[in-house]
Every structure is written in structure tokens, then in C-alpha cells.
């Protein structure tokens, strides 16, 4: 069995079914789920180092893989819908998740001869490399998988777990919860030799869709909006609106590099002081007075995205109009609030109210930070779904038609992805690979736990050089 052109050798392909499950489960979609029905998969990789003896192929495949596989099966017993499919029956107005006996999750076992240290380095390296360690997420006209997983060995170095998730099935908080549950059970099996350890209460998912109220029938509106958008942007899909094929947002890989940048707590404080020092000069009869502090999210997004926009603009002067949309977790913001362990989608997207050229102005970081802060404050005061229709599909269509570059963010520094320990230590690196499908930054807490954050992005090589210079120069000058 030889390595293919992507440095990958496929050893086995399993369908992992939930342990001892005989029940059938059907879960309806909420309006939160429907919003993402055609969205590209969210793809993340966890990289782990191993001692030399444990990363030898014979030991790894004969000892470690069975533990990972059996603990995955045990975990799926708690997360049954993830082993099912998204379906959209012809007689149904909306899609749903359906799990039947013997449904399972695709698990690919692979080996790579790539240099592990090169794969996990922060400095720019070929964007296509990480895609070798990710599984394909199956979607057809009639059904779509919710997750798929690939475990890849790097002999004498470590291994990775790549997971592709269907955004209509679960949001970032839920996918992280699933990975932590799997890691916890795997760790327990290694530690205690128990075959079926008990899952921590905080990692037990709540699938009850009745907790999501939809008095304004947003679900129907969103379904109709998708139908209209699909027919307009993809005329060939007209008449096939119930198709569950995920839309093609191809990764930008040619002449592109992937890199990770860190903002320490000290860096964030520098940016915060710079932003707050400018507040009085601009704040003339505004709705919101100068804040006492700013969150890491506001500071990181404002600083990183301004560097991103300026790098794109310097490479192509015609690209000068930008906007930013971000999602907020609605669990604690709904009326009434819903439990934090609610599993599915409970995030909503919001556009900030910047002017078209704000991202490339001299004071761009301040202008963008102020708009993000004010948007979050407005959400907290007026409700998370205020203006949901106009601030979603319609706003996005308008911006795209007007030639805006629309930035996004994936992940969160609150997820604690670096706590995901399967029993062989914390991840050496966690990477959101799907940022290569758009103008998106990946967002996570700093792996050293010092209160900083890390961002990942994929750019054309020349644009990445410009971004890196802007990013580092800005921190030195503040």
C-alpha cells in the first residue's frame, strides 16, 4: 500500500456505530439549523505528539486505534443523532435529522509521511497540506452526513484527528463538546481500564428542540429564503431545492499558504489602550459611551481583520470595500434562556455597521472595534434576533452584489479546544482548516493558557507576506 500524492496512505475505513443502540431517533430542524443547510463543512484538526514507542505504526494501529475507535462508539451512544443523516422528505416543509439502527460515522485510519514539525508550525506553509488529514463529508440530493472523522499517524512523531462537521447539524460549541466528550471517555478507558465509563454531566448533550421557540415562524422564512437564493445564484438547482448537496465553496489552495499568528495578553492590552485612547475624539453624541474595557474577541477581530483588509487592498487597490459578520451564541440570550449543553445550532449571525472603507483607513482598528463593540451591546440590550431577517440573507446579498469582501470568523477563544486530551496529552496544535473556503479567520485560545489568542488564516503567498508585516509592525508601534 503506497503513499498517494498527498503523502497519505489509507489503512482502513470503518463505519463506527453507537454501542448497544437499538432505538430510532428523529430530530426536527429549528430555524437556527436551517440557516446553515447548504453551508460548507466546518473542518478542524487536532494534532498530538506521542512518545517514539507509541507512534510506531504497529503499536499505534494495534493498540491506540482500537481504543480511539471503541471510545468513539461509546461516545456516539450519548450523541446518537451524529451517527444519523440529515434528510428532507418530499412531503416535509423542512429537513430533519434521522438516526436508525446500524447508522454510523465514517472513520478513516491513515498514515502520513509528511514532516510533523512542518505540518504544525505557525509560519506560512502550503495551504493544501492540512487538507490531507481531513475526511470527506458525504452529501447527496437525498441525505447528508453530520460528521466524519480521520485519524492520521505521523510515525515517530504523533497523530492527528481531523473532523468534518455539517453546520446544519451542530455549531462550534456543540462540535467542541462532542470532541471533549470523546476525549474524556477515551482518557477514562486508558486510565481506569473500564469498558464503559460514565460521561461527565456537563458533557451530556441536550437534543430537545422544544426549548427553541419560533413564534415568528423564522424557520419557514429561512427555508423560503434559501430556496430563493439557490434559484438565483445556482440556476441549475432550480426545481431541486430539497437537495441536500452542500454548495461548493472550494478551498483557495493554489499559490496559497496557511499560517497561525498569536496575540499575547500584553498585545491585546496594547491594542485595547490604543482603541480606547481614540474613543473621545470620535465619540460625538453616540448611542454608547466609551467602555471601561473591551473583550479579547472585539480586539482580536478588529486588529486581525484590518490587517487582512489592508493586505488585500495593497495587493489589489481595487479591493477596498469590506464588511464583517460574526455569530453569537444565543443559548443564554434567548427568552427564556436555554441550557448551555443544548446540542445543535444556537448561533446567529450579525453584520457590523462599518462604512465601506473603514477597514483600510488609518484608524481602521478603532473604527472596526467600536462597531463590533456597539453591535454586541445592541444585541445584549435589544435581543439577539432583533432584525434577524434583514441582517441575514438580505444584507449578505446586498454586500456581495456591491462588491464587498465579507469577513467571517470561525471558532472561539472560549471553546477551550486545547483542553481536548484523549489520554496522551493536550493537542500540540488545533487548526480550523475550513478558513480556506472564504475570507475567514480561525479563532482559538492560546495553547499556553496565558490569556492570549491565536488566529489562523489562508492567503495568497504575497498577501500573506503583507499581512504578516502589517500584523507585526502594528504591535511594535502600539
Render pLDDT for 351-389 as a digit per residue (tens, 0 to 9).
999 999 999 999 999 999 999 999 999 999 988 887 665
Give the pLDDT score at 288.
60
Indicate whether 229 pLDDT > 90: no
Share of the chain above pLDDT 90, in %: 73
Strand order in the sheet with 347-351: 125-126, 256-263, 453-460, 440-445, 405-412, 322-329, 347-351
Task: Count other C-beta atoms under 10 Å from residue 233's C-beta.
Answer: 11
Geometric angle at alpha carbon 430, from 424 and 431, rounded to 5°:
150
Tell me which of 83-92, 131-140, 282-291 is least confident: 282-291
pLDDT for 77 beyond 90: yes
Residue 2 has pLDDT above 80, yes or no: no
pLDDT tens, 138-167?
A: 999 999 999 999 999 999 999 999 999 999
Note the pLDDT of residue 390.
58
The residue annotated as part of the active site, out of 40, 78, 166, 167, is 167
**Complete DSSP assignment for 330-360:** -TTTSSS---TTB-S--EEEEE----TTGGG
- State mean pLDDT over 195-219: 90
Rounded CA separation 69/370 (Å)? 47
Residue 243: predicted pLDDT: 85
Question: What local confidence, expressed as pLDDT, does residue 259 receive?
Answer: 98
**pLDDT computed for residue 457 by the predictor:** 97
Give the mean pLDDT of 429-445. 97
Model pLDDT for residues 251-266, shown as the tens digit of each residue: 999 999 999 999 999 9
Average pLDDT for 312-335: 95
How many Å separate Cα 457 from the centre of its chain? 12
Tell me the average pLDDT across 415-421: 97
Q: Return the sign of the alpha-carbon dihedral for residues 331, 265, 364, 258.
A: negative
Topology adopted by domain 8-237: Chloramphenicol Acetyltransferase (3.30.559)
Question: Which percentage of the chain shows pLDDT scores above 70?
Answer: 93
CATH architecture of 256-477: 2-Layer Sandwich (3.30)
Residue given cell 446553515 in the structure block: 36
* 421 tagged catalytic: yes
Residue 239 has pLDDT above 90, yes or no: no
User: Hey, where are the domains in the chain?
Assistant: 8-237, 256-477
- Decide if 46 contacts 430 (C-beta within 8 A): yes
Residue with the bigger pLDDT between 192 and 242: it is 192
CA distance 333 to 335: 7
* Residue pair 261/304 in contact by the 8 Å Cβ criterion: yes
For range 229-233, the mean pLDDT: 67
Whether 34 has a pLDDT exceeding 70, the answer reads yes
Looking only at the bridges linking them, the beta strands covering 147-154 and 105-112 are parallel
| pTM across the whole model | 0.95
pLDDT confidence tier of residue 283, bands split at 50, 70 and 90: low
Q: Check if 167 is active-site.
A: yes
Q: Among residues 379, 377, 383, which one has the least CA distance to residue 294?
A: 377
The band of 391, judged by pLDDT with boundaries at 50, 70 and 90, is low
Helix axes 65-78, 172-192, angle to 10 degrees: 130
How far is it, in rounded angstroms, from Cα 177 to Cα 218? 27
Please give the sequence-ordered ranges of beta strands (E in DSSP) within 168-309, or none if there are none: 256-263
pLDDT digits (tens, 9 = 90+) for 445-475: 999 888 999 999 999 999 999 999 999 999 9
Which of these is catalytic: 363, 391, 421, 465?
A: 421
Helical segments of 209-264, H only: 218-233
Residues 6+ apart with CB under 8 A from 362: none
For the record, the C-alpha cell of 445 comes out as 485560545
Tell me what pLDDT residue 389 has.
59
Confidence band of 206 (pLDDT split at 50, 70, 90): very high
Cβ atoms 376, 328 nearer than 8 A? yes
End-to-end CA distance of the chain: 54
pLDDT of residue 220: 77
Maximum separation of any 2 CA atoms in the chain, in Å: 70
Identify whether the C-beta of residue 392 lies closer than 8 Å to the C-beta of residue 35: yes
Residue of 73, 70, 72, 95 lying closest to 85 (CA atoms):
95
**pLDDT band, residue 216 (cuts 50/70/90):** confident
**Picking from 59-68, 151-160, 202-211, 281-290, which range would have the lowest pLDDT averaged per residue?**
281-290
In the predicted model, what is the mean pLDDT of the chain?
91
422 DSSP 8-state letter: S
Q: Please work out, in degrees rounded to the nearest 5, the angle formed at the alpha carbon of residue 440 by the alpha carbons of 414 and 401.
A: 135
Amino acid at each position: 500500500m503506497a503513499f498517494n500524492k498527498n503523502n497519505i496512505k489509507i489503512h482502513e475505513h470503518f463505519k463506527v456505530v453507537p454501542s448497544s443502540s437499538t432505538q430510532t431517533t428523529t430530530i426536527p430542524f429549528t430555524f437556527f439549523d436551517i440557516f446553515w443547510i447548504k453551508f460548507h463543512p466546518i473542518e478542524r484538526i487536532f494534532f498530538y505528539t506521542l512518545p517514539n514507542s507509541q507512534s510506531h505504526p504497529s503499536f499505534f494501529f494495534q493498540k491506540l486505534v482500537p481504543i480511539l475507535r471503541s471510545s468513539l462508539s461509546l461516545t456516539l451512544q450519548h450523541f446518537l443523532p451524529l451517527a444519523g443523516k440529515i434528510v428532507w422528505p418530499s412531503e416535509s416543509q423542512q429537513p430533519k435529522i434521522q438516526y436508525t439502527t446500524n447508522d454510523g460515522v465514517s472513520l478513516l485510519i491513515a498514515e502520513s509521511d509528511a514532516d510533523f514539525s512542518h505540518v504544525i508550525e505557525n509560519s506560512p506553509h502550503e495551504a493544501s497540506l492540512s487538507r490531507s488529514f481531513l475526511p470527506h463529508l458525504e452529501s447527496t440530493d437525498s441525505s447528508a452526513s453530520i460528521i466524519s472523522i480521520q485519524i492520521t499517524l505521523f510515525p515517530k512523531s504523533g497523530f492527528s484527528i481531523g473532523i468534518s462537521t455539517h453546520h446544519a447539524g451542530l455549531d462550534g460549541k456543540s462540535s467542541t463538546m462532542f470532541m471533549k466528550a470523546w476525549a474524556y471517555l477515551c482518557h477514562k478507558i486508558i486510565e481506569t481500564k473500564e469498558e464503559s465509563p460514565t460521561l461527565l454531566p456537563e458533557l451530556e448533550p441536550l437534543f430537545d428542540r422544544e426549548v427553541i421557540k419560533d413564534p415568528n415562524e423564522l424557520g419557514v422564512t429561512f427555508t423560503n429564503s434559501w430556496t430563493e437564493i439557490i434559484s438565483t445564484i445556482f440556476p441549475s438547482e432550480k426545481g431541486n431545492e430539497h437537495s441536500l448537496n452542500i454548495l461548493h465553496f472550494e478551498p483557495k489552495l493554489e499559490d496559497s499558504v496557511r499560517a497561525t499568528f498569536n496575540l499575547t495578553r500584553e498585545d491585546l492590552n496594547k491594542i485595547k489602550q490604543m482603541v480606547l485612547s481614540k474613543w473621545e475624539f470620535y465619540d460625538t453624541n453616540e448611542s454608547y459611551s466609551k467602555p471601561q474595557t473591551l473583550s479579547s474577541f472585539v480586539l482580536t477581530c478588529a486588529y486581525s481583520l484590518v490587517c487582512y483588509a489592508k493586505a488585500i487592498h495593497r495587493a489589489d487597490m481595487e479591493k477596498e470595500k469590506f464588511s464583517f459578520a460574526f455569530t453569537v451564541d444565543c443559548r443564554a440570550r434567548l427568552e427564556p434562556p436555554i441550557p448551555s449543553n443544548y446540542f445543535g445550532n444556537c448561533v446567529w449571525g450579525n453584520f457590523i455597521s462599518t462604512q465601506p472603507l473603514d477597514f483600510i483607513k488609518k484608524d481602521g482598528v478603532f473604527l472596526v472595534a467600536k462597531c463590533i463593540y456597539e453591535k454586541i451591546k445592541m444585541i445584549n440590550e435589544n435581543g439577539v434576533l432583533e432584525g434577524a431577517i434583514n441582517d441575514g440573507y438580505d444584507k449578505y446579498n446586498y454586500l456581495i452584489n456591491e462588491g464587498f469582501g465579507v469577513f467571517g470568523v470561525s471558532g472561539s477563544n472560549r471553546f477551550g479546544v486545547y483542553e481536548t486530551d484523549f489520554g496522551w496529552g493536550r493537542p500540540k496544535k488545533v487548526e480550523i482548516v475550513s478558513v480556506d473556503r472564504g475570507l475567514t479567520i480561525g479563532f482559538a485560545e492560546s495553547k499556553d493558557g496565558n490569556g492570549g489568542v491565536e488566529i489562523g488564516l489562508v492567503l495568497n503567498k504575497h498577501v500573506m507576506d503583507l499581512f504578516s508585516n502589517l500584523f507585526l509592525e502594528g504591535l511594535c508601534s502600539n
